[in-house]
Amino acid sequence: MKILANDGISESGKNALEAAGYEVLLNKVAQEQLINFINENNVAAILVRSATQVRKDLIDACPSIKLIGRGGVGMDNIDVDYAKSKGIEVINTPAASSESVAELVFAHLFGMVRFLSDSNRNMPLEGDSKFKELKKAYAKGKELRGKTLGIIGAGRIGRATAKIGLGVGMKVVFNDPFAEDVNVDLDFFDGQKVSFNIPNVSKDELLAQSDFISLHIPASKDGKAVLGAAEFAKMKDGAGIVNAARGGVINEVELIEALDSNKIAYAGLDVFENEPTPSVQILMNPKVSLTPHIGAATNEAQDRIGTELAEKIAAVLK
């Protein structure tokens, strides 16, 4: 039975699938050639990350497909309900990348409060000629300790983000209409553990309280942004925002306006409305810390994703 890992799979995942008797194809097939490739090779399962689209047309045109696997959490690039209506199993790996995404959130947070993104742009250009001027320009950094981190979405990644915030010394609040107050266990290297009960507040309360907001929710089905001009107006002056969830949950045009007016001091974006071609206004704004959708792109996360996919595939296709 053939499995196409069109967006790649870790060596550990590939080995686990092959040990279970599957043939793993690592071809990177262009979207427009995907239907022909699947049919010509009688592919039984396709594994994707965020690049490959598995839509209704592909599902209808490829009767050999029995399973669609998403290496990661969000499945915006898959017509999940339609696939299930055709009897196709759809799986993802919601637990595997939580820590990696949470650490990237804090990479952005630490970078933004110490102006690392802008500093790393300007030091190579002017560090030898304007060292004192740059030192002065970046002299008003902030500490995260003691600040309030508002997390929208209390799923696995939101909770992993909360753990780091608690470890840094931040106050943490959640907003999630599908959760009660959230219990988080903070585990240490020596086996000690501290439990925290984190309040789940209204969205307006979170906006008003938070010095920094991190988003961990899927894109809405109607395409409406969760944070836009109305929400920015309710936030503290000089607050910061990180989006490592999905492009579109922040209105980027209104974010730029809020940054330009200094209502929002800085933003960190790993995902964008127009991937893979983010707007120039976002890319060139010195107040925005940028990464190209790499939340789950650590060796450790990819190993966990590959292994988890292999285990789920074996259980479904056995």
H/E/C letters for each residue in the chain?
CEEEECCCCCHHHHHHHHHCCCEEECCCCCHHHHHHHHHHHCEEEEEECCCCCECHHHHHHCCCCCEEEECCCCCCCECHHHHHHCCCEEEECCCCCHHHHHHHHHHHHHHHHCCHHHHHHHHHHHCCCCHHHHHHHCCCCCCCCCCEEEEECCCHHHHHHHHHHHHHCCEEEEECCCCCCEEEEEECCCCCEEEEEECECCHHHHHHHCCEEEECCCCCCCCCCCECHHHHHHCCCCEEEEECCCCCCECHHHHHHHHHCCCEEEEEECCCCCCCCCCHHHHCCCCEEECCCCCCCCHHHHHHHHHHHHHHHHHHHC
Q: Which of 89, 103, 275, 311 is catalytic?
A: 275
Q: Which of 49, 70, 108, 246 is catalytic?
A: 246
Query: Is 293 known to be catalytic?
Result: yes
- 38 vs 61: CA distance, rounded Å: 9
Query: Is 216 known to be catalytic?
Result: no
Q: Which of 108, 293, 304, 308 is catalytic?
A: 293
Catalytically annotated residues: 246, 275, 293
